[in-house]
């Protein structure tokens, strides 16, 4: 693992690191905020999965999570959203290829050799984190935005017992019924829609749900609201009696201004779950 940078931040350290990934077959970069407590003992870990076009850097510099995490003694990891590099397949569209991994393991050409973001988040990056930093493996929570909100919800339901809590900002909630999902799943997973179900939060809620609480924030003025389909997730939560809260925030859009406004609520939500 290579240290790219480390900066003092709210009494702790905001670092950026690079490591070779077996899952993606290329080098991957991630950000990690460690609060002051990590110098004394292992601390709980909050995962933040970013959205389309983002790298590890966007939320790390714009979401304002570090101040809230420091107040609760939590670490926050900011993974990248896809494999990258000259040998990695890409597409001219912003919503496919590099920057748009969708947190799935691709099975189709030309994506299959590198686009294995499910395995990267579920297995590869955790091995690096827990081997190199003072983190508590049995105290983890997960959140994310947009495509990353989709990833957070599906990871939480797909990796039962790993995360104490899950939250999301304007997540893609029903990708099998949205152009933000059908396009990418066809490209990455192929035309057999039965293989898509494991990556649709609304469908996963209907067949198992999450053994914990959810917090979802969605802006009412989000320019991508029709693609995100929060109403599908709300109906599934109600139908399955899933514990949680979905809040429609009046006037907020899809930007980091929205995320930073409610970041404190989400960190406090996860801190409470991790303290139980």
What residues are annotated to the active site?
146, 222, 254
Q: Which of 275, 270, 49, 50 is nearest to 165 (CA)?
A: 270
Strand 2-9 and strand 12-21: the pairing is antiparallel
Distances (CA, A) of 255 to 94, 135, 162, 221, 227: 16, 30, 29, 11, 15
Which residues are paired to 194 by β-bridges?
Answer: none
Torsions phi, psi for 105 (to 5 deg): -95, 110
The HSE-up count of residue 243 (CA atoms within 13 Å, CB side) is 8
Residues 205 and 203: their CA atoms lie apart, in Å, by: 5
User: CA 258 from chain center: how many Å?
Assistant: 16
């Amino acid at each position: 693992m290579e240290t790219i940078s480390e900066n003092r931040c709210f009494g702790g350290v905001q670092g950026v690191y690079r490591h070779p990934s077996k899952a993606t077959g290329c080098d991957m970069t991630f950000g990690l905020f460690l609060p002051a407590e990590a110098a004394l003992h292992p601390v709980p870990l909050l995962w933040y999965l970013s959205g389309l076009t983002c790298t590890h850097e966007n939320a790390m510099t714009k979401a304002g999570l570090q101040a809230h995490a420091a107040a609760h003694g939590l670490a926050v990891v900011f993974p990248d959203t896809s494999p990258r590099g000259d040998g990695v397949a890409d597409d001219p569209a912003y919503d496919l290829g590099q920057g748009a991994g969708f947190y799935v393991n691709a099975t189709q050409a030309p994506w299959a050799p590198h686009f294995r973001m499910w395995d990267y988040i579920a297995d590869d990056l955790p091995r690096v984190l827990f081997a190199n930093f003072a983190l508590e493996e049995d105290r983890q929570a997960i959140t994310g935005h947009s495509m990353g909100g989709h990833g957070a919800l599906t990871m939480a339901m797909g990796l039962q017992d790993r995360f104490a809590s899950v939250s999301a900002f304007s997540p893609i909630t029903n990708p099998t019924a949205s152009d933000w999902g059908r396009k990418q799943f066809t490209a990455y997973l192929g035309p057999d829609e039965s293989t898509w179900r494991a990556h649709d939060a609304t469908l996963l809620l209907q067949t198992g749900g999450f053994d914990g609480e959810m917090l979802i924030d969605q802006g009412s003025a989000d320019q991508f609201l029709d693609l995100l389909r929060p109403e599908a997730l709300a109906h599934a939560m109600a139908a399955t009696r899933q514990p949680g809260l979905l809040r429609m925030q009046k006037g907020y859009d899809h930007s980091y201004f929205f995320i930073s406004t409610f970041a404190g609520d989400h960190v406090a939500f996860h801190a409470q779950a991790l303290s139980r």
